[in-house]
Amino acid sequence: MQPPEEPAARGALSGCLVADFSRVLAGPLATMLLGDLGATVVKVEHPRGDDTRSWGPPFLGHESTYYLSVNRNKRSVVLDLSTPEGASDARRLAQRATVLVENFRPGRLAAFGLDYDQLAAVNPGLVYCSISGFGGAGTKGADLVGYDFVVQAMSGLMDITGPMGGPPTKVGVAVVDVLTGLYAVIGILAALEARRDGGVGQRVEVSLMSSALASLVNQASAYLNTGTVPHALGNRHPSIAPYETFPTMDGVLALAVGNDGQFRTLCGAIGEEALADDERFATNPARVANRDTLARLLEAQLSTRPTTQWVEVLRAAGVPCGPVNDVAGAFRDARRLGLDAAVRQPGPSGDVSSVANPLTLSGSPVTYRLPPPALGHDTDEVLAWLRTPSPAAPLDPA
């Protein structure tokens, strides 16, 4: 039996039906990415809707731009799981699904017959992804509510972010939710590949806390291997110099010098060749040890020209650098670089723009078939399909 599918879309995951029981960010991001790859995604919402629908301003019509950011390529179905009919329809969807994604409190879905064990008994091929804040059922963190901001604080991420000596600072976007969503997609795709041998699915679990700790990479390695506890250094790198921002005549320049050869090139490009032979700066460890002195010398030179001039000079020499943009500047730069950074779709409240999927696949490209749906937009159509024992055709596009 074929899942509901947009006939014109033949992506890598075409034919895959995703039952999306998640809300807010990590889960919806994961299911949107699966939808971009061709999967048919049915977003199951409580009658009051996903919380992010009201997270604004700003709004586009009646929908928050937050909700719009992670819900394209989906159909919205309103189901009240606390009612027998709502729970029954949800089970029908889960029994036909290839993938189910949920971020309820651990153990909460068992009351509705929607936990992994009950569903795997009737749909053994199901890949069931659970996203939690601090761990699944049976862990001490299972009952804790997981919000990105709290996890950034508890994971140490805030302590290594912000100005040196200043207060702990969160990243300017819910980066832990984003990373968790990406890890969820990786786990789901791995489980789908493993299912090729025998057709049996499995449970995929990922938590915000574990994802945040994994994101600490070199900072975590420093602590785990040497006991070194890192703290915020502003825009500086703990192990590389110069790798920070510098004021220019009219703005701020980001400079990333990753090796001794690049440093010598930098010195030549800015007219300070002698710095490359100075024993205080000749090697990266020496530059890290003397970073304050080096920064003052570089700042004295870099502050003599506008940012755009330095970017032109340094890029021509092969030195990694760039301006510190605001978001508008970031999209302008992306367009100048020839990147397709945004996609525009007609939506129920007007045209909707969203950040394009960064993947390029030569044989099964990502597609943008459906705009983020209004609450319950597809309920009647999807429920009619679900309540047909053996539908003769897949669900037509909304």
Residues 6+ apart with CB under 8 A from 364: 10, 11, 12, 14, 37, 38
Which of 184, 322, 329 has its CA nearest to residue 245?
322
Structure tokens at 247: 């004021």
Question: What is d(CA 316, CA 311) in angstroms, rounded to the nearest whole number?
Answer: 8
CB atoms within 10 A of CB 175: 18
DSSP string across 278-338: -TTTSSHHHHHHTHHHHHHHHHHHHTTS-HHHHHHHHHHHT--EEE---HHHHHHHHHHTT
Whether 177 is a known active-site residue: answer yes
**Cβ(212)–Cβ(157) below 8 Å:** yes
| Pairing of β 203-207 and β 342-347 | unpaired
CB atoms within 10 A of CB 218: 10
Among 20, 115, 148, 177, the active-site one is 177
The residue assigned the tokens 């970017």 is: 311
**Cβ(94)–Cβ(100) below 8 Å:** yes
Task: List beta partners, residue 101.
Answer: 20, 129
Percentages (nearest 5) of helix, strand, coil residues in the chain: 40, 15, 45
**Half-sphere exposure at residue 336, Cβ-oriented, CA atoms within 13 angstroms:** 6
**Strand boundaries in 235-313, DSSP class E:** 243-247, 252-256
**Half-sphere exposure at residue 341, Cβ-oriented, CA atoms within 13 angstroms:** 13
**Cβ(188)–Cβ(30) below 8 Å:** yes
CB atoms within 10 A of CB 273: 11
Enzyme catalytic residues: 177
